[in-house]
Homo-oligomer: A and B are copies of this chain.
């Protein structure tokens, strides 16, 4: 049996990526350097580098893992048997909890940070970030549309407009928590989301 099996290599790759997500959460995807990862993990730079082949591939894999973690922390927690407005409200509650707990590795919302960091840098990373943001807004919009169809929201509700407004509330909440340390932000977010989603 070889000392370094394919499974070992895959484990190492996962260890590298978890470390990369933690670094990127605090310092951005550009803060994830090969040397820093090697240092944190007690590996050589070439050992880290070999798992990816380029900085860009490392960034893409790091972003991909962060998106997976977001999906486990927010949509997965709100999944279930609810219908209509109930599902949307549970998703919003999980979303605010995620922000209140500091997002990923205490660095706030990873997707929002990556969007800001790459929105002016054309390339595959920017494309992946834009796709993830599109997917998330589309998911919100589907839940909003289902709530309208179920009769839980006024029939003249624009699902895309509601998704846009909910996203804005989350971005403001993330900024208030991460930059201002504003502990009242989650409660403001709940009020704002309830109002946007047609609370009585």
Which positions in A face B, CB cutoff 8 Å?
25-28, 30, 106-108, 112-113, 115-121, 126, 129-130, 133-134, 160-161, 164-165, 167-173, 175-176, 178-180, 185, 188, 191-192
Contacts and interface: CB of A to CB of B under 8 A. Distances in A.
Give the copy number: 2
A170 B185 CA distance: 17
Contacts of A126: 179
Contact of A172 (B108, B118, B164): B164
B133 A180 contact: yes
A113 B117 CA distance: 8
Query: By DSSP majority rule, is chain A's interface helix, strand, loop, or mixed?
Result: helix
Contact of A119 (B130, B134, B179): B179
A153 to B, nearest CB: 14
A169 B169 CA distance: 7
Contacts of A180: 130, 133-134
The residue in A116, A134, A169, A180 that gathers the most chain B C-beta atoms within 10 A of its C-beta is: A116
The residue in A108, A126, A180 that gathers the most chain B C-beta atoms within 10 A of its C-beta is: A180
The residue in A126, A169, A170 that gathers the most chain B C-beta atoms within 10 A of its C-beta is: A169
Nearest to A132: B179
